[in-house]
Chains A and B, each alone.
Chain A
Amino acid sequence: MAHGPAKGIRRWLFATNHKDIGTMYLWFSFAMFLLGGFFAMVIRAELFEPGMQIVRPEFFNQMTTMHGLVMVFGAIMPVFVGLANWMIPMMIGAPDMALPRMNNLSFWILPFGFSLLASTLFMEGGGPNFGWTFYAPLSTTYAPSTVNFFIFGIHIIGASSIMGAINIVATILNLRAPGMTLMKMPLFVWTWLITAFLLIAVMPVLAGAVTMMLMDINFGTSFFDAAGGGDPVLFQHIFWFFGHPEVYIIIIPAFGVISAIIPTFSRKPLFGYSSMVYATAAIAFLSFIVWAHHMFTVGMPLAGELYFMYATMLIAVPTGVKVFNWVSTMFRGAMTFETPMLFAIAFVVLFTLGGFTGLMLAIAPADIQYHDSYFVVAHFHYVMVAGALFSSTAAVYYWLPKWCGRMYNETMGKVQFWISFIGFNITFFPQHFLGLAGMPRRYADYSLQFADWNMVSSIGAFIYGASQLLFLYNVISTIVAGKKVSEPKVWEGAEGLEWTVATPAPYHTFSTPPAVK
């Protein structure tokens, strides 16, 4: 309690305080979100009408690739690491993260990783243009000369994620306050514990995949080149063995956020706490054994297709349990609808829609028609944007008063919610139609029957994009000049250790562990 933060830039460069590092993660991810969003605006502007108007096809491919990479690795993953840094120690009664210096390193290598990645856009040959899934041989033999920067960028980002995950596991398993048993932990802590194990398991697989690419490109190996005895499909198996757990890495912490917000504003305890924990663990386990459902058209044997179809369909069961639990938590509560609650409810509705299309995509014969179409684009934006991004927006509104001791502007928050909600649906709902009618994803241009819905989708995207600037403005104006709040329990129905410390949260919390009954 004795000392406060260091002065000036040293506070941030040499930060070991979990709150400072959490703050840096949050700002970094928001900057990346705006960058990835800018790429999305270029994509939607080009697709506003048929024909090439704004960019060339080769640059369009760089935009789709960079949009995916920046959003997945730069915006969504770091935002949840930032929330974990801020909230996990406060939720389990720990004074800080278990490994503060590694925490500093895992944040500070991120900007370098993304600088490496983004700098390729200004080089001869251009940025990565092979999609965020970078299938070989398009990403090896046929890649632009800048591909090595991409590979090392991914290595750095992966190292950052692994270190962050190790830190979270160490913190949760070692630094819980006396009496805080595993089954008393808030769900946000549980979901992050499970996510961290997923990260430690699969990020090295991604590192392996890009290292094999590096060897193929520069050192004459043929891991992914059939002409040299390799196998391009091997790349896809390795990538999706990483990639499928990766999508749960993105969404599982979101489950934790929603499981914190809905009980607070329903003024009723979370329904089915233990089944939530088991369902999350079940989803994490299943995520390792369903990867090839991304490859139903690759020409697997029939037995393989059937196995991956059945296993994938099973995911609907634990996911359904979660949705039913959230609805039951709201049922017979005493609800109010502040901005975090609005985003949380929108999460439940839209994530469920994304879950339904996920179930449809799991049906292998039907996937023959859905695969690589805009139907898939709609599906994963319903879970990534309305899932992960809506929940992180909800989390920022929910915990911002605790972080800075000032209340955001509720009216502006609600306006931002409605613009986001409407803009999001105008953008992505018509993409279901486009995909079903036969428009493939990653198309720089399209035939005339797709023109109407593409224009609608683009208009929605501009609305959704603009609403994020309002969010930025609301957050900054709250930090600078929001109405002061000082009671520890900012929200009437909030439960948990983070609401027992002073508001704004002091620089050091729980220097002596709290008693947990």
Chain B
Amino acid sequence: MVSRAKRLVRGCIGLLAPALLLQAVAARAATEPQEGWGLLNMPKGVTSVSREIHDIHMVVLWICVWIGVAVFAVMFYSMFAHRKSRGHKPATFHESTSVELAWTIIPALILIVMAFPATRTLKELYDTSEADLDIKVTGYQWKWRYDYLGTDVGFMSELATSQDSVYGRAPKTEYYLEEVTEPVVIPVGKKVRFLITAADVIHAWWVPDLAVKRDAIPGFVNETWARADEPGIYRGRCAELCGKDHAFMPIVVNAVPEEEFNAWLAAKQADAAALRELTEKSFTLEELMAKGEEVYGRSCASCHGASGEGIPGAFPGLQGSAIALGPVADHLDVVVNGKPGTAMQAFGAQLSEVDLAAVITYERNAWGNQSEDNIVQPADVFQFKQAR
């Protein structure tokens, strides 16, 4: 009996050691920066909700680890001690009502203990009342749009990493696939309510450091919120499969002090006003082509191809296409209103009149396309939109 007890103790130590090691590693991982091999755990984040979620995660994790250690200790002990090769004779017991009751009731009690903090945090997470700022987030294939409600400020935010970098023709930089053309800016210490929706398929707006993940569903508006405690740049991703470029529509949130935010918002308002004036200006073909190439690369090339070749069977090419060579009105209609029932989006709400004019002009002149009406001015776009 003594030797068996000794063996049991030794077995337990053997199992405890790795568990404690794991705990030490996890504790270290929580304090060290999360990258490379040190990337092991959920970030604590910068909101009260994200910290509560992290705590719940760690508590549940450790309850699971210790239950696992206990159960597998018994199992590995029997595998060691109760093997036929050691001459162990099998017992014949096959039930015990009291033991079976115990291991039904005790886990149920442990679950109840877990449910309390989870319920509290979930309630907090759902309380979207009394927000200081409302930002509408719209998911598109494959980019995000942010509109600051109650102001004229709204912009698209797209992947800034180049296709060359993705396909190995250019080096990958530090923020590969984590950089966008324009981050969404929020004030620190203010409760920001995000109103999340989508224009085409379902996306999901996920920023781990803010503990925000909410599906963006076409035809529905979901609400969630975050109050960032520290200024910083927080990077997130689309979390719901949304088609071809699901992995290529990152999120960047720039949390700044309130004064800086107010200054930024005022400057964006002024930009919006200036853009309205530009709409009345007349551009040369060269100006439109230069601008159009840039817009095309950003908004069109991922489907229609860098030189308008398209993807056979999925997305039509534009080189020599009937739309690009045909009447301007049809071309405007497709680009501004999209093509319902297909992946072709309505860009009228995504791009400014100047960008629309430039990209349409570009498509009518690039890659050997030579259409009769080859120049479209912002004013034409404006009139087209008004006529509808």
Contacts and interface: CB of A to CB of B under 8 A. Distances in A.
Interface of A: 50-53, 57-58, 61, 123-126, 129-131, 135, 137-138, 141-142, 144-145, 225-227, 231-233, 266-275, 297-299, 302, 305-306, 309-310, 313-314, 316-317, 320-321, 323-324, 327-337, 345, 348-349, 352-353, 356, 359-360, 363-366, 368-369, 371-373, 433-434, 436-438, 440-453
Q: Which 5 A-B pairs have the closest CB atoms?
A: A226-B219, A124-B313, A356-B64, A299-B222, A443-B247
Nearest to A145: B313
State the majority secondary structure of interface residues on B: mixed
A82 to B, nearest CB: 30
B78 A271 contact: no
Which of B49, B114, B204, B247 has the most chain A CB atoms closer than 10 A to its own CB?
B247
B84 A331 contact: no
Contacts of B141: 142
Interface string B229-268: 0000001111111111111101000000000000000000
B53 A365 contact: yes
B214 A305 contact: no
Contact of B247 (A266, A323, A445): A445
B50 to A, nearest CB: 8
A140 to B, nearest CB: 10
Given A327-B75, A345-B79, A372-B240, A366 B177 contact: no
A214 to B, nearest CB: 15
Interface in B138-171: 141, 165-168
A309 B246 contact: no
Contacts of B95: 271-275
A334 B247 contact: no
Contacts of A317: 104, 107-108, 111
B214 A297 contact: yes
Contact of B64 (A272, A306, A360): A360
A437 B118 contact: no
B211 interface: yes
A365 B154 CA distance: 30
Contact of A233 (B78, B177, B217, B235): B217
A369 B314 contact: no
Contacts, number: 304
A231 B41 CA distance: 36
Interface string B40-81: 111100000100110011001100100110011011001100
Contacts of B239: 297, 371-373, 440
A272 B223 CA distance: 48
Interface stretch (B86-94, B281-289, B325-333): B86-94
11 contacts: A232-B202, A268-B90, A314-B108, A324-B103, A327-B71, A334-B82, A438-B208, A441-B241, A442-B247, A445-B177, A447-B250
Nearest to B303: A58
Contacts of A272: 94-96, 100
Nearest to B39: A437
B311 A58 contact: yes
A438 B96 CA distance: 45
Given A302-B126, A334-B89, A336-B85, A365 B108 contact: no
Contacts of A360: 57, 60-61, 64
Which of B49, B90, B214, B341 has the most chain A CB atoms closer than 10 A to its own CB?
B90
A313 B114 contact: yes
Contact of B202 (A138, A273, A365): A138
B380 to A, nearest CB: 28
Contacts of A269: 92, 94
Given A227-B219, A232-B202, 13 more contacts: A58-B314, A138-B202, A275-B100, A298-B217, A316-B107, A324-B71, A333-B82, A335-B84, A352-B68, A371-B204, A437-B34, A443-B247, A449-B35
Contact of A452 (B39, B88, B220, B312): B39
A433 B41 contact: yes
A235 B178 CA distance: 31
Contacts of B36: 449, 451-452
B104 A321 contact: yes
B90 A266 contact: yes
Nearest to B35: A449
A137 B236 CA distance: 23
Contacts of A310: 115
Contacts of B353: none
B125 interface: yes
Nearest to B174: A448
B172 interface: yes
B39 A448 contact: no
A383 to B, nearest CB: 15
A366 B176 contact: no
B91 A268 contact: yes
A365 B311 contact: no
Contacts of B218: 137, 226-227, 232
Contact of B314 (A126, A130, A441): A126
A196 B354 CA distance: 62
B35 A336 contact: no
Interface residues of B, number: 104
B343 interface: yes
Contacts of A332: 78, 82, 88, 90-91, 93
A240 to B, nearest CB: 14
A195 B141 CA distance: 40
Contacts of B67: 356
Contacts of B341: 141
B202 A440 contact: no
Nearest to A341: B79
A57 B218 CA distance: 23
Contacts of A266: 82, 90
Contacts of A448: 172, 174, 176
Contact of B201 (A142, A320, A453): A142
A337 B49 CA distance: 48
Contacts of B79: 330, 335, 337, 345
A348 B68 CA distance: 11
B30 to A, nearest CB: 11
Nearest to B123: A302
B340 to A, nearest CB: 8
A144 B91 CA distance: 61
Given A316-B111, A321-B104, A444-B246, A366 B57 contact: yes
B234 to A, nearest CB: 10
B201 A138 contact: yes
B84 A334 contact: yes
Contacts of A441: 241
B119 interface: yes
A353 B35 CA distance: 25
A254 to B, nearest CB: 18
A333 B211 contact: no
A52 B240 CA distance: 20
A145 B315 CA distance: 12
A371 B241 CA distance: 12
Nearest to B74: A327
Contact of B213 (A363, A371, A446): A371
A271 B94 contact: yes
Contact of B246 (A271, A363, A443): A443
A309 B112 CA distance: 11
Contacts of A440: 206, 237-239, 246-247
B28 interface: no
A273 B94 contact: yes
A309 B118 contact: yes
A353 B22 CA distance: 15
Contacts of B237: 438, 440, 443
B108 to A, nearest CB: 5
Contacts of A434: 39
Contacts of B178: 447
B53 A368 contact: yes
